[in-house]
Amino acid sequence: MSKHPEGRQVKVGVLGATGTVGQRFITLLAHHPFFVIHALGASARSAGKLYPKAANWKQTTPIPAIVRDMVVHECDPKHFIDCAAIFSGLDADAAGEIESAFRTADLAVFSNAKNYRRDPHVPLIVPLANASHLSMIPQQRSLHQPPLKKGFILTNANCSTTGYVIPLVAMEKAFGPIETCMVTTMQAISGAGYPGVPSLDIMDNVVPYISGEEEKMEWETLKILGGIAQADDGTRTFDMHSRHPLRISASCNRVPVIDGHTMCVSVRFSRRPPPSPQQVREALVAYTPEAQTIGCPSAPVHAIFVHEEPDRPQPRLDRYYQDGAGVSVGRVRQCPVLDIKFVVLANNVSIGAATSSIINAELAILKGVLIA
């Protein structure tokens, strides 16, 4: 396993530590070569309690020893000031103000919440797709009032966006721009946090609506696939316009699966003739994101695992492959309407949330953006 470049571990904090994503953070950070958990935060309901009393632990492994005797704090930066990185699994209703206060306190925040994804200075990074957007952090620090030395906010994407954008990036890298994309999701219950969708709503059922989800998938994809433009005065912006005419239509559904979002995707390439299904399969297998080449310890061995069996991927069988850190693709075939269609499965709590934040922080350390 890779070591921190200076051979030490840096202290980190977890906000929303009691929740679904927070618990996954704690499980993944408990034995991490770069990071050591130093402080935990949640709501006033949990503050002052020992972590095992505050958290309704739902992981399949026991509560790690490192947090068993930790007291949960309110999410006030004063409790986290020794932390080099803050991982946020905060509810979106609370994340906006709290994450902003942490950044103002010169802390580096890696957020799962939706609040800052559209901010023109905040990178929206799927670590297996657009790690190059980390280069926007110095500008975010310098434009902040007062300017920051270490602090920033970096978000990862919506869990469904994350899952399908990784194969899209791999295909664009091999075959050039995609001009049309249709995606239909089958999203797990855990995507709604704990306790999630009431059992009487989701058992024996499919709910064809997840508030705000389709708009997020359609918008976030453009920021992630876009480049960075530089104005004459040197100011840099996320360039979504060079992506036009990428048109995306997302349809999002909640299904009675506990973990793992499955998506059916169809794409049309600008290039004519388009690649064959076999060429697409080979490009997906060959795709090697920077997180792998640079040596991020949490990066999966296969960013995209391509199944040959006709009935895979399936959430129950494939969601924990590589500890949920990669995505699984299958059924790559010709689309009679667009060019190519396929199925992708992503673990919404791992690569869709906590694992992405952690790989983003590993990238930030290895690229010298995170100042410990």
Q: Which residues contribute to the site for ligand NDP (CB under 6 A)?
A: 16-22, 42-43, 45-46, 75, 89-92, 94-95, 112-114, 159, 190-191, 193-194, 348-349, 352-353
Asked about 159 being catalytic, the answer comes back as: yes
In the complex with ligand PHD, the residue whose CB is nearer, 114 or 173, is 114
**Three-state secondary structure call for residue 90:** coil
Which helix (H) or strand (E) segment holds residue 41: the answer is: strand 35-42
Nearest to 42 by CA among 90, 105, 102, 82: 90
Name the E strands within 300-358.
304-306, 327-334, 340-346
In the complex with ligand PHD, the residue whose CB is nearer, 192 or 285, is 192
Q: Provide the angle, in degrees to the nearest 10, between the axes of the packed helices 355-366 and 20-29.
A: 50
Name which of residues 286 to 305 contact ligand PHD (CB under 6 A). Answer: none
Applying CB under 6 A, which of residues 99, 106, 172, 213 lies at the interface with ligand PHD? 213
- Taking the complex as a whole, the smallest distance from the CB of residue 57 to ligand NDP amounts, in Å, to 11
187 binds ligand PHD (CB under 6 A): yes
- Taking the complex as a whole, the smallest distance from the CB of residue 160 to ligand PHD amounts, in Å, to 6
Could you tell which of ligand PHD, ligand NDP, none binds residue 213, using a CB distance below 5 to 8 A set by kind? Answer: ligand PHD
Looking at 83-205, list the stretches that DSSP marks H as alpha helix, in order from N- to C-terminal side. Answer: 92-104, 137-143, 159-175, 199-202
- Taking the complex as a whole, the smallest distance from the CB of residue 203 to ligand NDP amounts, in Å, to 19
Q: Which of 32, 38, 75, 159 is catalytic?
A: 159
Q: Which string of x and - marks every residue 319-348 that binds ligand PHD (by CB under 6 A)?
A: -----------------------------x
CA distance 275 to 269: 8
192 binds ligand PHD (CB under 6 A): yes
88 binds ligand PHD (CB under 6 A): no
Tell me the residue nearest to ligand NDP as measured from the CB: 19
How many chain residues are in contact with ligand PHD, going by CB under 6 A?
A: 12
Applying CB under 6 A, which of residues 18, 88, 158, 328 lies at the interface with ligand PHD? 158
Q: What letters, b where the CB count within 10 A reaches 16 and e where it falls short, cover 151-183?
A: bbbbbbbbbbbbbbbbbbbbbbeebeebbbbbb
Please name the residues in contact with 169: beta carbons below 8 A apart, sequence gap of 6 or more.
126, 128, 129, 130, 224, 225, 287, 289
Question: Where does residue 368 rank: exposed (0-12), middle (13-18), buried (19+ CB within 10 A)?
Answer: exposed
Question: Which residues does the annotation mark as catalytic?
Answer: 159, 261
